[in-house]
Amino acid sequence: MSALDSLHLTAIPPEAEALRAQVRAFLQDAVTRIPAHVRARSWGGYDSNLSRELGQRGFLGLTLPKEYGGGGRTPFDRYVVVEEFLNFGAPVGSHWIAERQSAPLILKYGSEEQKRSFIPAICRGEMYFCIGMSEPNAGSDLASVKTRATRNDKGWVLNGQKIWTTNAHNCHCMIALVRTSGTGEDRQKGLSQVIVDLKLPGVTVRPITDLSGDSHFCEVFFDNVQLAADAVLGREGDGWEQVMSELAFERSGPERLFSSIVLFDEWLAYVRTPQGRTPESVRLAGRIIAQLAPLRAMSVAVTGKLARGDSPVVEAALVKDLGTGVEQSIPALIADDLFRRPAHEVPLELLRTLNYVTQAAPSFSLRGGTRDILRGMIARGLGLR
């Protein structure tokens, strides 16, 4: 049986859907006054006050155990909450990675001390993590990691560099994939994950300004950074397996479909007006929704597998690859529609939102795994490699 045979039509349980009204009521008051071109940044947006508020209301760490400050609920509950965050364009970037994948990773592989040190603070929206995977000159070849942690009498000494690290300049810690034994030729062997306090001496974080003018990507340099002996997450040498598990968390959520959703909603609001409605725009709206609807169903099906305790690595890669394709097509299709109209008839805020999403869209198929990497995984899942 192929791994892809398991994406059955799955319904979100009523008890999870019941959360939607609570989240919407809060976000309606907290977010909707923010201009659309700012809300379009959503999980790239930084608002530590909002993150703390979400933590206090129990909207973070929903799937984590109550003994570590979580909600003890199901992946479906988290799916509903995240979907509402994205649909409203809530600026959730500060806690996003910590809550989505760092905390589940620590829960799965961490020591008891690591769980109690980090997970409750993440659930409160007070501690933020970034991911240290990509390195210069490595492209998508994650196994070519050169950053190295070497044992000494105090623990580990870390040297090397990471790049394209989202939000590192605002984070407290990084979970970095590093080499703890062997050489670069050993590929997946000898890799481990370490938790790095980004305020330690020897750590330098340098933001990179992107095409849109934002600076949420960073370079991170490690120059003889002294880590404690317990900085290793999980078992030394199991880093590759752990990273693959982490990436399944990253690729399986609704964020891989909805990066352009604020723009789409803003454009739909214009198309619903007498001056914005044309036969062509109505057909385009139907065309986009017809692509989003089955992708959302696939994403919910992946969530169903997570709820059953499976690890849907291949299925998540499939949804991510197809989802980012649709996300990238939305600004191009909307631009084609708007630029056929007299410029003075199109709302300025809609154009500003289109401008931002158009500039950000090329990154949609890079973050969380490039298209080529994902398609290789899908081919392997289908038995074609």
112 and 144 within one domain? no
The predicted structure's pLDDT at residue 202: 98
When mean pLDDT is compared across 8-12, 57-61, 242-246, 283-287, the lowest value belongs to 242-246
> Rounded mean pLDDT of the chain?
92
- In this prediction, residue 252 has a pLDDT band, given cuts at 50, 70 and 90, of low
The predicted structure's pLDDT at residue 4: 56
- Quick check: 269 pLDDT over 70? yes
Tell me whether residue 201 is in a domain.
yes
CATH assignment at residue 55: 1.10.540.10
The predicted structure's pLDDT at residue 139: 65
Query: Which is more confidently placed, 4 or 306?
Result: 306
Side chain identity at residue 220, one-letter code: V
The predicted structure's pLDDT at residue 137: 80
The predicted structure's pLDDT at residue 140: 66
The predicted structure's pLDDT at residue 37: 96
> What ranges in 67-198 are assigned the alpha helix state H?
75-88, 93-97, 103-109, 112-123
The token duo for 277 is 């409605």
Tell me whether residue 55 is in a domain.
yes
Tell me whether residue 266 is in a domain.
yes
Side chain identity at residue 316, one-letter code: A
- Quick check: 184 pLDDT over 90? no
217 and 137 within one domain? yes
Q: Give percent helix, percent strand, percent coil of the chain, each to the nearest 5.
A: 55, 15, 30
- Quick check: 38 pLDDT over 70? yes
369 and 332 within one domain? yes
Tell me whether residue 251 is in a domain.
no
Whether 53 is catalytic: no
Q: What are 128-172's pLDDT values in tens digits?
A: 999 999 899 876 677 788 999 999 999 999 999 999 999 999 999
In terms of C-beta distances under 8 Å and separation of at least 24 residues, what long-range contacts does 341-348 make, across chains too?
345/275, 345/276, 346/270, 347/270
Please count the structural domains in the chain: 3
110 and 87 within one domain? yes
CATH assignment at residue 139: 2.40.110.10
Round to whole Å and give the CA distance between 292 and 384: 27
CATH assignment at residue 303: 1.20.140.10
Q: What are 210-235's pLDDT values in tens digits?
A: 888 888 889 999 999 999 999 999 99
Tell me whether residue 199 is in a domain.
yes
Sign of CA dihedral 360, 364, 369, 371: negative
Mean pLDDT value of segment 296-304: 92
Q: What are 350-381's pLDDT values in tens digits?
A: 999 999 999 999 988 888 778 888 899 889 88
The predicted structure's pLDDT at residue 366: 82
150 and 195 within one domain? yes
150 and 123 within one domain? no
168 and 101 within one domain? no
Mean pLDDT value of segment 264-284: 97
- Quick check: 187 pLDDT over 80? no
Tell me whether residue 335 is in a domain.
yes
Q: What are 315-355's pLDDT values in tens digits?
A: 888 999 999 999 999 999 999 999 999 989 999 999 999 99
- Quick check: 20 pLDDT over 60? yes
Final residue before a domain boundary, out of 72, 95, 127: 127
- In this prediction, residue 5 has a pLDDT band, given cuts at 50, 70 and 90, of low
- Quick check: 300 pLDDT over 90? yes
Q: What are 59-107's pLDDT values in tens digits?
A: 999 999 999 999 999 999 999 999 999 999 999 999 999 999 999 999 9
Final residue before a domain boundary, out of 127, 146, 172: 127
225 and 166 within one domain? yes
The predicted structure's pLDDT at residue 280: 97
Mean pLDDT value of segment 199-208: 97
Q: What are 114-135's pLDDT values in tens digits?
A: 999 999 999 999 999 999 998 9
- Quick check: 3 pLDDT over 60? no
22 and 95 within one domain? yes
Round to whole Å and give the CA distance between 36 and 329: 19
121 and 52 within one domain? yes
367 and 320 within one domain? yes
Tell me whether residue 171 is in a domain.
yes
Q: Which of 84, 99, 246, 250 is catalytic?
A: 250
Final residue before a domain boundary, out of 110, 127, 144: 127
378 and 260 within one domain? yes
**Structural domain harbouring 197:** 131-238
- Quick check: 310 pLDDT over 90? no
Query: Which is more confidently placed, 45 or 234?
Result: 234
The predicted structure's pLDDT at residue 333: 98
Tell me whether residue 250 is in a domain.
no
Round to whole Å and give the CA distance between 248 and 374: 11
